[in-house]
Structure formats: C-alpha cells, structure tokens
Structure 1
C-alpha cells in the first residue's frame, strides 16, 4: 500500500488541531511544521474568523487593476454586441472610438475575451476550402466600377406570403443601393428596382451576378432580357463562375448579416419587412464599420456615378466596316441567304458581325462580344470568358 501524501490544507488542519490541544507553545509548534511564528498566527486567525474553510489557498489576483477596462466602456461594448450579434471586436472598437475618441478603449484581444466571458461568442464550424478553376473577374478599383446583385433566398412573412429580397450593392464601397422585398422574381419587377437605382445613383460600368434568372438565360451568351437592357445602357453584365458563390463573397456575407438581423423572425407583412430592410440599410451604410474600408462606414467612401440614366435608351452605333443585322421576333438574323438563330431575348435589337478570318465572324451586341459565327458550318461558338489582370 503506497504512502499517503498530505496536501498543504491537510497539514494546516493538523496544525490547528495540535494548536487547539494546547500541548505545545506556538514557537515549538511553528518549528515542528517548519513555518514562522507570523505564518502560524496567520492561519490561526483565519481559522478563528471562518473555520476550516479558511485554511485553503486564496487567490493572489489583485482586487483592482490599474489597466482594467472601465466598467462604462465594458457595458457600452456589450450593449452594442447584444444589439448587433454579428459584429466582432474590430467593429465594436471602431464604433466606440468613433463615438468616444478620447476614451481608453481596450485591445481587440481584450474585447474578444470580454465577449467570451459573457457568452456572446458562438463558435462557427470552419468549412474545408474547395479548389476552383481560374475564372477571373474584373478588380474592384473604385465606386461604380462594379455593382453586385443577387436574390437572397426566399422566405415567408408572418401572413404566409413569400418574400424575395433583391439586393444591390456597390462592390468597392459596400454601399447598399437597393434592398427590396419583392413578391416575385420576375424580370419586370427586377427591372423596376434597377431603374430606381440608376435614377438615384447613375450607371455603373458593370453589374456582377450569379447565373440564375432573371440575371442570366439558357441561350447565346447566357443573355436575359434584363441583360439586354443593361447592355443598351452601356453596362456590361459580369457573371460569377458556375457553382462559384465565393466570387461574389462580399455580397454573400452581406446576405448572412441581412438574414440574421432582419428575418429572425420575419416581419408580419412584406411592407413591414421592407421597413426592416430600410432601417438595416441606413445603419449598414452610415454607421456599421467595415474592415475593408479601414473601419469606416460605406457612406464615407461611396459617391454616385457621373453617368446619369438617359431619358431614352440610346441607339446602338457600330463601326462602319461591321455588318449590322436586325434580330426578328423569332430570334433570327438574315445571314448568308438564310435565317441564323441567335436568341429570342434579342428580339428587335441590332447586332453586328466583324470579320476576323475567312468565313469567321465575331458577333457583337452593344459593347459585348457574344461568339464566333462560322459560315461553313453555320454555327456559333462561345468565346472564352474575359481574363482580367
């Protein structure tokens, strides 16, 4: 049987027992246990004050710390976090410093520890990265270079009606241009929302979307009627790769925040849901710090486009050496003495063909090249996607 080891607490209990038996002087008892008389009297005093429970070790942590965060600042950080559960330490500190620049705000790691202690951090499962191809998009170099758009997943409002949120942002500044609670995903409703955005903010150079309706179609160049309208206004449609939501990652992240702060639970009606979206967008654009913008809100970076929405859609003008054809209601053009099918979404529009080789032509609509027309086989082949540096 092994020898039983005694803990310091057991030795203190034994020391107090012998002291209470009154068989030894304090000097002799202290020498027997290898402690000073001062330490011996300390443990006796603690025992007299609180009994055996006082014989355990006490924390050496100071009751006060000169570098501790002021309680008022702690409460301010927790209050904003509870109001915005999606905001991390950087955003909380950026907002706090903007509102109280002279306060002694803690470091980011201290704020993370503070949120952890108060149960305000929920760990997220990390997903394994998936390798993708080399489909590249134009860089976001300034406001109105690229707008990003998408439909957030539909949901039912309290009255059981479906709501289809359409969102539109400036890719560079993250400024939310539109967030509309639509009742359907039709081209007509979507176009009305874009028309309001163009009237308020001008025209971008391009609009980035996924490959779903109404942003893309199944035919030539994956054109949709919405694309055709954009292109007539001088806007280039830009689509992410198939199965590549990460190429519009900032917009996808925006949707996660929008869902968390406005749809859990949904509003009672679409009108009430729209009011939630408006309130969210005002705060998102004017108050919420963004790390990509040096923790400034989007409104400090975004400015409207100098290209205004024209009163009438301008006519298309092509170089004089190109062959211009008009698309009929069946989606065909007259070419080589016979109809050549393009796509029905170009009904009534003018396209142009540029000779690039013997019997090979590049098909253009507005400023976009749609494919190669081969006279010998009377086929149209797709062009590779543009590669931006």
Structure 2
C-alpha cells in the first residue's frame, strides 16, 4: 500500500486527518492504516492534547531514569575488586548503605549494569527455563535422573470400592519404586506416597507424568500443588503432550505387564489387593529379567539417589540479580506499587522477577516460566501476566 513508503510523521498526520473526517469506524480506520487500536488511540490523545506537535517522535527512555553520581559508581567498582571473594550486587548494595549513610543505594539491577559496563561481570550461563512441554523429552541414562509416575486405570474391587493404583518407576533402570492402591487421586494421599518413596530412595532430578490430576492443573504454567512441592524439593516436573502416552512408553509397558497379573475378579478385601501389588513389585524388580537391561533385573541396575529427602521443605531460591517477592494469601505479589496476580495455587510461595528489558520482567517460579509483565500495561495499579513466547 502507498502509505508504507511514507515517513512515520506523514502516516500519523494522514491517520488523524482520516479520523477527523469520520468516514469510517475507528476499528476500520486502524485496519486501513495497519496499526493497533491502542496505537491509534494514543495518536488521537496526543493530537487532542498537543496538536500536531504531539505526533512527533518521543524519546523511549524511562521518565524516571535515575543517574548514579560518580562517587557511588567508583565505590561500586572498588567494592567489587576488594576482598577474597567477589561480592554480588546484593552485597555491594549493603556495603554502600554503610559507606554512604542516609542515602539510598542504587538498585541491584543498576549495580549489575554498572559492573557489566566496567567489564567486571563475566557472562553468566543462561539459566535453563522449563517449557510447559519440553521438546524433545530427554532420556535418562543413569538411575534417579528421571522418575515416571502414573495412575493405572481405576477398577472396582470385589467389595465395590474403587481402586486407583499409583505407580512410580525409575526410568533408566525400570525399577518400580511404588505400586500403591489409592482410594482417590487427591493431592494429600498422592503426596504421602511420593514422600515415602523419597525418604526410602532419595530425590530424582525430574519426574515425568501426564497432564491429569494431581500432576498438573489448568492454572499458571500447568502447575499443581504436587508439582509445586516437587519444585521446592529441587525436582523438575516434566509432562508429556496430551494424547501422547508413547512419550512415557516405558511406564505404559510396565502397566501392561501389571494388568496381565491382576486377579480376575478383583480381590474383595482392600488389603488383599495391596498384597497383590506388593507381590508384583517383588517379581518385577527382583525376579523378572528385562530384555532392555540385557535380561538383568531392575533391582540389579538401580542405586538409591544421593540426594536425601530434606526434613524441612526449602524455600525457592533465586540468583542474586532476580527480585524475589512473597505471594500473599490471594496469590498476588506487590512490586513498587504494582499488584500482580500470580495465581491462587502459588499463594505464600516465593516468586522471582527477572528484568529482561526496561519495565518488562519475566515472572518465574524456580526454573519454570510463569509469563511476563510489562509495567506500562498497568491499570489502576494492577498488571496481568502474559504468556511468554516459548
């Protein structure tokens, strides 16, 4: 179209002229000039407030840009260089408070940028972020790199009670860590089974599941109470794509073997049904050779994890350049007057905000990206998280 070759100022003038003529709706006008409604309204507001001058290009620098005086800049560089250990922005910020009492020190981000400009910051390794469905799903070559978990299809016992067998398996060795009959799939009872496994065998690096309850939810990044607990333990939740059970094929193959051994009809007593699961684990782990293991048993290929289950659940930790905020009882964090809704499932959790460009932060929970927030989108003090492009 001809206006694509016009200068930006000419395009704005033509847009305002067409707007004043009132020949089309505002939506159609924006479509004709290939601009968003937000941009169109911004041009109109500036024209009505300042006339043609309001259409001129403006500086994109932040209006609240602060400048650090030379003495503080020099002190930041000096503090970085003294001592046996290399202090980070947080430590330097505390030292500046002592050196310049009564004066607020620069933010940790500003200190980091000053050190970086002085070539005192080595390029940091990019922290791996976890997508909702990591592609491709990584295999495990050694025990405890990856556990897989699933519920074997529910069935009615002879007493008319539903049974949901929860199975947990080490991916590399095929060692069956749990085969527990459950009366439901709620978080509390599932957590108890995982806690027993973690106490006995230690913690894995990752756990792979499907997208069902209680492993996942429709909330932020698909997190659930169970996967939030895993993350605080330092375990990465890994979910297969919907409708792709083949991505957890080893676990599905074990389930077929389990199904072939289930008594028909099902046992009447609940305890009798669990005794059958226990006998299956004994046979599967210690007596049955596995072709993929060179006819060795899973038990002969498995070793417990060196990562012990902690007695106290640790808080989520972040790098020094990441701002940390505690979500309140409504799942909201407050940052410099901005209220950001994180989600009810993440209430009372420590959330990280990593600055990626002016006024734009990536919101994270440990290694999981929750989304991005742009302070310029705030309305009445609230700003929404947008899904990050993966």
Q: TM-score, structure 1 length as denominator?
A: 0.62
Q: Deviations over 1:122-150 (max 9, x none)?
A: xxxxxxxxxxx994212212100010000
Residue matched to 2:281: 281
CA contact (8 A) 2:341 2:384 kept: no
| Residues 168 and 288 (structure 1), Cα distance of their counterparts in 2 relative to 1, 3 Å cut | same
Of 361, 368, 384, the match for 1:379: 384
Preserved contact between residue 340 and residue 385 of structure 2 (Cα < 8 Å): no
C-alpha distance in 2 between matches for 1:331 and 1:312: 23
Secondary structure at the aligned position of 1:284 is classed as: helix
1:338 Cα deviation after fit: 3.3
Question: How far apart are residue 342 of structure 1 and its match?
Answer: 1.2
State the match for 1:329 in structure 2.
329
The 4+ residue runs of structure 1 with deviation greater than 2 A are 366-385
Tell me what 1:320 maps to: 320
Residue 230 of structure 1: SS of its match in structure 2? helix
Do the aligned partners of 1:262 and 1:280 also contact (CA within 8 Å) in 2? Answer: no
Q: For each residue in 1:326-380, what CA deviation from the matched residue of structure 2 results, as whole angstroms up to 9, or x when unmatched?
A: 1111111113523211111111111110111222212221233332223333332
Alignment match, 1:358: 358
Unmatched segments (≥5 aa) in structure 2:
1-132, 378-382
Matches of 1:270 and 1:276, distance apart in 2: 10
Give, in angstroms, the shift of residue 264 of structure 1. Answer: 3.0
* Greater alpha carbon shift after TM alignment, 161-170 vs 257-266: 257-266
- Rounded Cα–Cα distance in structure 1 between residues aligned with 2:169 and 2:134: 25
Contact 2:315-2:350 within 8 A present in 1 as well: no
TM-score (norm. length: structure 2): 0.62
Deviation at 1:384, TM superposition (A): 5.8
Residue 259 (structure 1) shift:
1.2
Structure 1 alignment gaps of length 5 or more: 1-132
Residues 266-305 of structure 1, C-alpha deviation per residue, up to 9 Å, x if partnerless? Answer: 1112211110000001010011121211111101111000
The match for 1:252 is 252
| Aligned-residue RMSD, C-alpha | 1.7
2:147 aligns with 147
Q: Which has the larger radius of gyration?
A: 1
1 CA distance for matches of 2:322 and 2:255? Answer: 44
